Structure 1
Amino acid sequence: MNYILSTIALVLLASSQVWSKNSRDSFRQDSTYTQHLNLAYGPAEGNGNLLDLYLPTKHSASTKLIVYVHGGSWKWGSKNDFPKILVNTLTSQGYGIVTLNYRLLREGKNRFPAQIEDLQNAMAFLSAKASTYGYNGNEFALLGVSAGAHLSLLYTYKYDKGKQIRTVIDIVGPTDLTDKTFRENPSGGNIITQFLGDANPKAAIAVEASPIHYLTKESGVPTIVFHGESDELVHVGQAKALYKKLQSLGIQSQLELYPGETHEMRKSLFSIYSKITLWLQKVYPAK
């Protein structure tokens, strides 16, 4: 799933948007943004609880943040997957960007809900440090890809008690881990069993980890969903079911389906980025 955002970055570069390749300094000011890298937001060892913060050069207490949660089947990926060209583009529009690591699934370790605990700690950190770094710490947008979209949706619908999340952007995320058909898919079912520690789709933990089961009129926020209709890993029915429930609850939502596209969404990347930009302008404007 790292492919999606990386290829969007190449498309934008081909469109002649100017960007600079920054070294991984702990602090650096670019012509368009200021960066604070490898901030520790939680107690996990190693790189598991680090985040990067990018702010427009002219940021203030009203600057809104977009928080990126990476994909990789809960086992792979990192905060570095978010391309710098997208940081440049979004900060130039007035947004702050956060990219974060969470604990990755290992043999018998870091099973669910470790990743949600990390996301809770990250959001608490961002709220607490708003005045230190200079941004709005009261409201956020979550942008997740694949496993990161699953975590973003679940955090918003179940764990966001302070109602700080204003919108969720779901790119090919699983929404129901109790779906028997989904769990029997050899492409993803085994990974979900590792993630949950239980092969039974009816297990209580499968319900606890399924965003769609916690979506209510009260917990829902504006949500946009992107999914390929030929997704071999996360069946498109997951996206359709989420959208159907969002609509039935009267929650502002948008479903973007791409015929013939697989989980990598190879042919529709520029469309995705363009629609994300329009969605943000509508439901979470920078100013």
Structure 2
Amino acid sequence: MNKFFAFLCLIVLFSCKEKTITISKDITFDQQMDISYGNDPEQKMDLYIPKNRDSVKTIFIIIHGGGWKAGKKSDLTYFTLSMMKRFPQSAFANINYRLATETSFALSNQTDDIQKAIDYLVGITPIKSKFILLGNSAGGHLAMLYSYRFDEKDRIKAVVNIVGPSDLSDPNFKNYSDYSFVENHLVDPAAIPKGISIGNFASPVYWVNKNSPPTLSFYGNNDQVIPLSQKGILDSVLNKNEVSNQSFEFHGGHLDWTNEKNAPFLIKKIDEFLKQIK
């Protein structure tokens, strides 16, 4: 673990209950943990807002992975803190959302939760700027699906998809070890409009159009969960619709994007990409 990530670990261990996080001499955030943005116990977020609130330009909403039925916001705390160092003039909301269970579907609960989180933030923060959705794995899928299908008020400035599936009907993705869950329990059939298949309804690429937000994606070159074919599919659809986009490969598998070599690469590319967006 490099020095910066070790430093972030110390922040988490000793400052998680404090109201202020000091990332460096000149970077300080106000911190609120486990804020309820809805009535369900799983609808919680950790919110970090720069001390100088007037300087805030964007809000990142961080969406964890876990196959739509597992994971928690704390899985991305270290990455969120490292993003705060790179983006000291942005606010960050690291969210939990309702997980799928044997009696509850993932969709559309989880996209509804993203909407609730956005509505909550609009209501309590003095920030007029748009949002950036950043998610990994299932969280990357949800970030894309919400942005392409449900962002009716045009609040999403950009999407950062890290190892998330965009086309659930891709034959290569059907090798996913829990694909039966995708087929049988990802989407509530009652939520699907007539004439649309489950695969299309739940696939972000199905909803891409010329007004979709700029999208940045990352894929592992040895990912056994999300095949690299997903990269070509998403790139092609975004390009066809003339949506600003970039995609990159990193060395390793599905979880290796967080390691001390890949995480700084991802953050650098996120910074460069967002600087290109007006």
Q: What's the TM-score, normalizing by structure 1? A: 0.81
Q: 1:190 to 1:203 in 2, by over 3 A?
A: farther
**Other-structure match for 1:182:** 173
Secondary structure at the counterpart of residue 92 of structure 2: strand
Q: CA deviation at 1:84?
A: 4.3
Q: Is the 8 A contact 1:150 1:173 kept in 2?
A: yes
In the aligned structure 2, how far is the partner of 1:28 from the partner of 1:244? Answer: 45
Q: 1:106 aligns with which of 80, 101, 106?
A: 101
Q: 1:180 to 1:203 in 2, by over 3 A?
A: farther
Q: Is the 8 A contact 1:129 1:137 kept in 2?
A: no
Amino acid at match of 2:84: L
Q: Which runs of 5+ in 1 are unaligned?
A: 1-9
1:90-127: per-residue Cα shift (whole Å, max 9, x none)? Answer: 25621111100001111232432111111111111111
**Other-structure match for 2:181:** 191
Q: Is the 8 A contact 2:5 2:78 kept in 1?
A: no
Q: CA deviation at 1:28?
A: 0.4
Q: Which runs of 5+ in 2 are unaligned?
A: 23-27, 190-194
In the aligned structure 1, how far is the partner of 2:130 from the partner of 2:145? Answer: 17
Q: 1:79 aligns with which of 38, 63, 73?
A: 73
Q: 1:166 to 1:85 in 2, by over 3 A?
A: closer
**Other-structure match for 1:41:** 37
Q: 1:76 to 1:137 in 2, by over 3 A?
A: farther
Q: CA deviation at 1:82?
A: 2.0
Q: Is the 8 A contact 1:19 1:85 kept in 2?
A: no
Q: 1:95 to 1:208 in 2, by over 3 A?
A: same
Task: Check if 1:158 corresponds to 2:149.
Answer: yes
Amino acid at match of 1:221: P
Amino acid at match of 2:272: L
RMSD of equivalent CA atoms: 2.6
Task: Check if 1:216 corresponds to 2:209.
Answer: yes
Q: 1:19 to 1:282 in 2, by over 3 A?
A: farther
Task: Check if 1:145 corresponds to 2:136.
Answer: yes
Q: Highest relative contact order (Cα 8 Å, sep 6+), 1 or 2?
A: 1
Q: 1:11 to 1:75 in 2, by over 3 A?
A: farther
Q: What's the TM-score, normalizing by structure 2? A: 0.84
In the aligned structure 2, how far is the partner of 1:271 from the partner of 1:67? Answer: 20
Q: CA deviation at 1:239?
A: 1.9
Secondary structure at the counterpart of residue 111 of structure 2: helix
Q: 2:62 aligns with which of 33, 44, 68?
A: 68
In the aligned structure 2, how far is the partner of 1:60 from the partner of 1:54? Answer: 14
Q: CA deviation at 1:51?
A: 0.8
**Other-structure match for 1:97:** 92
Amino acid at match of 1:176: D
Q: 1:229 aligns with which of 199, 218, 221?
A: 221
Q: Is the 8 A contact 1:182 1:188 kept in 2?
A: no
Q: CA deviation at 1:280?
A: 2.8
Moved more, 170-179 or 143-152: 170-179
Q: 1:14 to 1:78 in 2, by over 3 A?
A: closer
Q: Is the 8 A contact 2:80 2:94 kept in 1?
A: no
Q: Is the 8 A contact 2:8 2:82 kept in 1?
A: no
**Other-structure match for 1:3:** none
| Percent identity of paired positions between Structure 1 and Structure 2 | 27
**Other-structure match for 2:25:** none
Q: Is the 8 A contact 1:233 1:263 kept in 2?
A: yes
In the aligned structure 2, how far is the partner of 1:190 from the partner of 1:11? Answer: 39
Q: CA deviation at 1:250?
A: 1.8
In the aligned structure 1, how far is the partner of 2:8 from the partner of 2:68? Answer: 32
1:127-168: per-residue Cα shift (whole Å, max 9, x none)? Answer: 12223xxxx244111111000000000000010011110110
Aligned length: 262
In the aligned structure 2, how far is the partner of 1:51 from the partner of 1:224? Answer: 24
Q: CA deviation at 1:19?
A: 6.5
Secondary structure at the counterpart of residue 273 of structure 1: helix
Q: Is the 8 A contact 1:150 1:211 kept in 2?
A: yes
Amino acid at match of 2:107: F
Q: Is the 8 A contact 1:73 1:191 kept in 2?
A: no
Task: Check if 1:55 corresponds to 2:55.
Answer: no
